[in-house]
């Protein structure tokens, strides 16, 4: 539900293909859609990605994947820095 742009070095160092996605997974009728806004080629260049912010805001209002169903209280175990058995390692780098 957010626009994302990712870059990569051009060929020959890497293979290029930087991309941008608009984050709108479904159209107004609920059909899935391609979220790709732009994909660069292998060569170095400047590529512009335009995001329709009004459409993105409208999508956030109608979709159920938004903030309404988050349960941050249940994320504590995932975000904890505590290491418990059986994952304790003497050689761990902290």
pLDDT of the residue at 73: 83
Whole-structure pTM value: 0.66
pLDDT of the residue at 83: 85
Q: Beta partners for 26? A: 32
pLDDT tens string for the chain (94 positions)?
889 999 999 999 999 999 999 999 999 898 999 999 999 999 999 999 999 999 999 998 888 766 677 788 888 878 888 888 898 888 877 6
Domain ranges for the chain: 4-69
pLDDT of the residue at 9: 94
CA distance 27 to 35: 10
User: Is residue 88 helix, strand or coil?
Assistant: coil
């Amino acid at each position: 539900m957010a626009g994302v742009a990712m870059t990569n070095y051009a060929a020959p160092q890497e293979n290029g293909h930087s991309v941008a996605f608009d984050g709108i997974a479904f159209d107004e009728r609920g059909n899935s859609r391609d979220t790709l806004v732009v994909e660069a080629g292998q060569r170095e260049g400047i590529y512009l990605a335009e995001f329709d912010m009004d459409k993105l805001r409208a999508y956030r209002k109608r979709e159920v994947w938004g903030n309404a169903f988050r349960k941050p209280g249940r994320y504590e175990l995932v975000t904890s820095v505590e290491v418990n058995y059986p994952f304790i390692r003497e050689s761990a780098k902290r």
